[in-house]
Amino acid sequence: MKSKLNNIIKSPINFIKYNRQFCSYVVLSLLCCLLLRFYTIGDIFNWQPLIIDFAFIIALGSFGFFYKPQKQFGYYLTLMLIYTTMGVINSIYYTFYNSFVSFSLLTALGQVSEVGEAVFDKVKLVHFVYLLFPTIFIIVHKKLANRDYFNFVAKFEKGELLFGKTLIISFTILAICASTLSATAFSRLSKQWNREYIVSTFGIVTYQTNDLFNTLKPKITSMFGFDVALKNFHDYYEENTRPKSHNKYTGIYENKNLVFIHLESISTFLIDLEINGTVITPNLNKIAKEGLYFSNFYPQVGVGTSSDTEFTLNTSLMPVTTGTVFVNYFDRTYVTIPNLLKEAGYYTFSMHANKASMWNRDKMHPSLGYMDFYSKTSFEIDEEIGLGLTDKSFFRQLTPILKGIESNNEKYMGTIITLSNHTPFKNDELFTQIDLTSSDYPYLEETKLGDYIRSSYYADNALGELFSYINESEYFNDTIFVLYGDHDPKLSLKNFNNYYNYNFETGEVYIEEDEKYVLYDYYSNELNRKTPLIIWGKNSKLAKEVEYYMGMIDVMPTIGNMFGIYNPYSIGHDIFEIKNDNIIVFPNGNYLTNKLYYNNSKEEYKALSLDETLSEDYLKDCKEYADSIIELSNGIIIHNLIKEDLEKGS
């Protein structure tokens, strides 16, 4: 018995003694994964993802035993460089998007050069700390080689035996961990749309491996998962066949012209905001008061940000959970606002003073139904801010184009995409230097939020010049303008917390113990991501605020009802039909109603009112709806089910 006990104790000691290179690879790789979780979600004390990462690391490392000890270094260093790259890229990406990177985004790498300044603005030296691990590994290898360690252990090592034992250990660990996980956890792993949850539950190696599989899955065969997606498609539309809307807004703009104005990063936070006597968005405020203003409107964007907004608004489908529709699924068939209006005799166009290839718009815009795309080559780049042509110059140059379009077409529909208010919101010399101080304290000076406010002030000023021209012009009398913020500025919770808790008397920030402290937590920040949506007409000023909670996915059915067009594949709702019963679903599985905001990753929620008790059935129904909508929309896009259904119908 004593002899067996000694063997059990000596076995791991001997393994470490004769496999120091393997063990250093395992320890350093595990530290790399641990550091990544610490830097992103901060969840380093959760044992489960740590153990699963460990199991995958030793499983992948076990294949190194097929090499002689002298030759194992190259294999282990390659794995470590993969983990290091994974750490660097995910750290940078998480800083920018609060999410983890997907392999499917590799097809969108061409977009990085277009927003390079915005990305690199957030790159810090700390993002490259992961390079320490392969560096340490190289040092360990050199020291072992100098001691002739590898020739020594080669006499004792039995590679195939060590491979088998190590692999069995890793599979055993994974099996034990799997037995502690719920069916819900595995369901989320397969769906892959809640990345933070997967990393905090399964570890970063599992996430990245599963993501690679999910990225390759539709490319290996378009039939992968087709039957399930098709069944979900038919079940949903058979059960949810909605008649065309019929309310007081039905057909009120039929045969009118329609122009969408895509306002880059404009947030509802800015509406009626005043700092030191300066109103930040006076023109937008005026337009909101004159038009139909939706004050609880939320974009539903994933990693495609602006492009996701364009897609969701025009199709009433959700963004995909892996990659972006504009880059990965531009060649599918979609029922869209431009396509439907084109069929009704409208001329359709889009305008953006950036490269046509940005977010693959040169391919996706024709797919959406735009007949002409006025991109960077259509404008003289005579004045620049950030990513390109200033909004003021852009608006000045597009007005004669708009006049020509109206003169030559009986009816038209278009989208104008602005640019100047794009992150990183640098304090450009063209911006009016509005006073962001408070007494003797800097307040918002030299802060990210302060730069954003100055940038937005400029964007609003440019918008004011455009609408002054519209109001004074003999044109646009039969044109309805729909203005929308494409997404929030994606500033950190800390930026807004400092703003809401600024002590004007001391120049410091209130802490929780202070009487005047305002709680600005994760949920406050999520609820603050809403953007303005305004429907305005020169001769049709409805002048009403709509407080129903509404998502970007609801724009098409709402606008469609007003213009007399109908999309049978829309997943969103006419907001004037569903009213207060709406559920806004976000690509990460979070959802919002007029009663609560639900955090899918933590499976918790914040009630919007303490006066109402929420039943378990209500929560369950909302959660099931959110999950089904994400899965349904993904299936429609990936498997091109609209085309399938239209061809079958014909």
Q: pLDDT at residue 8 above 80?
A: no
Q: How confident is the model at residue 550 (pLDDT cuts 50, 70, 90)?
A: very high
Spatial neighbors of 141 by CB under 8 A, at least 6 apart, are 21, 73, 77
Exposed, middle or buried by CB within 10 Å (0-12, 13-18, 19+), for 439?
A: exposed
Both tokens assigned to 467: 């609408």
Q: How confident is the model at residue 149 (pLDDT cuts 50, 70, 90)?
A: confident
470-476: long-range contacts at Cβ-Cβ below 8 A with a sequence spacing of 24 or more?
470/538, 471/538, 473/399, 473/403, 475/402, 475/403, 475/406, 476/257, 476/402, 476/406, 476/538
Within 10 angstroms of residue 405's Cβ, the number of other Cβ atoms is: 19
Does residue 319 have a cis bond before it (omega within 30 degrees)? no
Question: Mean pLDDT, to the nearest integer, of 78-107?
Answer: 81
Average pLDDT, the chain: 88
CA 44 to chain centre: 24
Quote the CA–CA distance of 294 and 251 in Å, as a whole number: 19
| Alpha-helical regions (H) of 344-492 | 361-368, 391-408, 448-472
Q: pLDDT at residue 249 above 90?
A: yes
- Answer for the pair 484, 418: CB distance below 8 angstroms, yes or no: no
Closest listed residue to residue 233, CA positions, set 633, 587, 648: 633
- Answer for the pair 270, 281: CB distance below 8 angstroms, yes or no: yes
| 118 sits in which H/E element | helix 116-120
pLDDT tens-digit series, residues 577-636: 999 999 999 999 999 999 999 999 888 999 998 788 899 999 999 999 999 999 999 999
- Answer for the pair 154, 68: CB distance below 8 angstroms, yes or no: yes
pLDDT tens-digit series, residues 289-318: 999 999 999 999 988 889 999 999 999 999
Handedness of CA 394, 532, 266, 445 (dihedral sign): positive
Helix 641-649 and helix 616-638: axis angle, to 10°? Answer: 70
**In the prediction, which pLDDT does 321 show?**
85
Go through the chain and tell me how many residues it has: 650
Both tokens assigned to 32: 């790399």
* 80, amino acid identity: M
Quote the CA–CA distance of 599 and 591 in Å, as a whole number: 7
Please give the C-alpha separations between residue 551 and each of 64, 531, 564, in angstroms, as whole numbers. 51, 10, 21
Q: 591 forms bridges with which residues in the sheet?
A: 585, 598
88-94: long-range contacts at Cβ-Cβ below 8 A with a sequence spacing of 24 or more?
88/127, 88/128, 88/130, 88/131, 90/36, 90/40, 90/204, 91/36, 91/39, 91/40, 91/126, 91/127, 91/130, 92/119, 92/122, 92/123, 92/127, 94/39, 94/40
Give me the domains of the chain, ranges plus CATH numbers: 2-220 (no CATH), 233-649 (3.40.720.10)
Both tokens assigned to 31: 């530290």
Q: DSSP letter string over 132-196?
A: HHHHHHHHHHHHHHHTTHHHHHTTT--HHHHHHHHHHHHHHHHHHHHHTS-HHHHHHHHH---HH
Quote the CA–CA distance of 237 and 250 in Å, as a whole number: 23
Quote the CA–CA distance of 502 and 551 in Å, as a whole number: 31
**In the prediction, which pLDDT does 420 show?**
95
Q: How confident is the model at residue 5 (pLDDT cuts 50, 70, 90)?
A: very low
Q: DSSP letter string over 449-464?
A: HHHHHHHHHHHHHHHH
Quote the CA–CA distance of 158 and 174 in Å, as a whole number: 25
Q: How confident is the model at residue 151 (pLDDT cuts 50, 70, 90)?
A: confident
**In the prediction, which pLDDT does 323 show?**
76
pLDDT tens-digit series, residues 511-526: 888 989 999 999 999 9
Both tokens assigned to 402: 């708009």
Quote the CA–CA distance of 130 and 35 in Å, as a whole number: 8
Spatial neighbors of 501 by CB under 8 A, at least 6 apart, are 509, 510, 511, 514, 516, 517, 518, 520
- Answer for the pair 291, 471: CB distance below 8 angstroms, yes or no: no
Question: Mean pLDDT, to the nearest integer, of 246-271?
Answer: 97
Quote the CA–CA distance of 8 and 132 in Å, as a whole number: 34
Q: pLDDT at residue 117 above 70?
A: no
